[in-house]
Amino acid sequence: MKHYTSINDIDNLEEWIVDAKAIKKNPLEHRKLGKNKTLGLLFFNSSLRTRLSTQKAALNLGMNPIVMNVSNDSWGIEFGDGTVMDGTTAEHIKEAAAVVSQYCDIIAVRAFPTLTDKAKDESEEVLNAFKKYATVPIVNMESATAHPLQGLTDALTISEYAKKERPKVVLTWAPHVKALPHAVGNSFAQVMQKMDVDFVITNPEGYDLNPEITRDVPVLHNQEEAMKNADFVYAKNWSSYENYGQILETNKSWMITKSLLGNAKFMHCLPVRRNVVVEDAVLDSDSSLVIQQANNRTFAAQLVLKKLLETL
């Protein structure tokens, strides 16, 4: 593996989950692997979990993490090729990525979508520019279309809490006040297709995710029907893909309640808006796995960093 930028970079999910569980049991076992190696974390957007858990993962491997809030603290970066840079951007990605590669052995990047320019978002302009112009491995810490560290975490969490073979997993759209990206839903849908689970997606009409990602997964527009006998319910808001980045009419009844959840475990990547996406009674109950998921972010990141360190 040269980079970790997509769920497609996981060659054998079952093996990866076994390895992640071993790391979780003994997080300091490989603390010499990353000695004198530097992880650069570049954030174009806000983060709590990714920023801290990825640093924690690096520290557990003996690496030195260095973090930069690129949007606020660095020069404006130009991504266009051949641009006359007489506007607001002061530095081109060609230099920026090459320079950061001088200081870092692995570079991790967070860059959200515009949600206004579908072609630009689908081209993964920022992430792919780092892949092209950096000379070290790139880790995706949530890009325009994917959040593969989260997806790996979610597969690990489901594997830990599954009480039967082939549990039923439901990815449900939930209401929100803002237009949100598709990245988390996309990576969850992709990783569930690699796992031995009975997987369905439910969302209101007009909110179907990219069919190239959901492929043959059943997409139901009746949430109650979809959630029947679920073992895991993964809630997430996303804006319309078809009417790109739009908030269509929002049906508040799609909020996850205790009665809707039934006996299923509740999952969400966080941060979550209480009593908009999911009611307090769910988050404050034993049915919620959100904190366990957040904990697993460290071990998923650690597995990815370990695999990349082994290639250096």
Collapsed DSSP state (helix, strand, coil) of residue 47: coil
Q: Strand 38-43: give its sheet, edge to edge.
A: 64-69, 38-43, 106-110, 138-140
Could you say which of 55, 150, 186, 202 contacts ligand CP (CB under 6 A)?
150
Distances (CA, A) of 159 to 114, 154, 245: 33, 9, 32
Q: Using the rule CB under 6 A, is 146 a contact of ligand SUO?
A: no
- Nearest approach, Cβ of residue 180 and ligand SUO (Å): 4
Instruction: Examine residue 178 and tell whether it contacts ligand SUO (CB under 6 A).
Output: yes
Minimum distance from CB of 92 to ligand CP (Å)?
A: 27
**Do strands 232-236 and 168-173 pair parallel, antiparallel, or not at all (unpaired)?**
parallel
Instruction: Check if the beta carbon of residue 217 is closer than 8 Å to that of residue 186.
Output: no
Q: Is 47 annotated as a binding residue?
A: yes
- Asked whether position 183 contacts ligand SUO by CB under 6 A, the answer is yes
CB of 288 to ligand SUO, least distance (A): 16
Q: Rule CB under 6 A: is residue 154 a binding residue for ligand SUO?
A: no
Question: What whole-number distance in Å separates Cα of residue 103 and Cα of residue 136?
Answer: 10
CB proximity list for 84: less than 8 A, separation 6 or greater: none
User: Is residue 287 part of an annotated ligand binding site?
Assistant: no
Near ligand SUO by CB under 6 A, which window of 122-130, 158-166, 179-187, 249-257?
Answer: 179-187
Per CB under 6 A, does 48 bind ligand CP?
Answer: yes
Stretch that binds ligand CP, among 10-18, 91-99, 198-206, 264-272 (CB under 6 A): 264-272
Residue 56 vs 221, nearer CB to ligand CP: 56
90 part of the interface to ligand CP, by CB under 6 A: no
**Residue 270 touching ligand CP (CB under 6 A):** yes
- How many whole angstroms separate alpha carbon 182 and alpha carbon 245? 9
Q: Is 270 within any annotated ligand binding site? A: yes
Which one of ligand SUO, ligand CP, none is in contact with 100 (Cβ closer than 5 to 8 A by kind)? Answer: none
Q: Which residues of 18-34 are buried (b: 16+ CB within 10 A; e: fewer)?
A: ebbeebbeebeebeebb
Q: Was 215 annotated as part of a binding site?
A: no
Q: Using the rule CB under 6 A, is 288 a contact of ligand CP?
A: no
CB environment 261-285: b (16+ within 10 A), e (fewer): beebbbbbbeebeeebbbbeebbee
Q: Does 18 bind ligand CP (CB under 6 A)?
A: no
Under the criterion CB under 6 A, does residue 174 sit at the interface with ligand SUO? no
d(CA 36, CA 106): 12
How far, in Å, CA of 271 to CA of 98, rounded?
33
Name which position in 16, 20, 39, 50 contacts ligand CP (CB under 6 A): 50
- Annotated ligand binding at 148? The verdict is yes
Positions in 236-295 near ligand SUO (CB under 6 A): 269, 271, 273
Shortest Å, Cβ 25 to ligand SUO: 26
Q: What single-letter DSSP state applies at residue 270?
A: S
CA distances from 10 to 7, 27, 160, 194, 219 (A): 6, 21, 18, 9, 24
Question: In the complex, which residues of this chain contact ligand CP (CB under 6 A)?
Answer: 47-51, 142, 150, 269-271
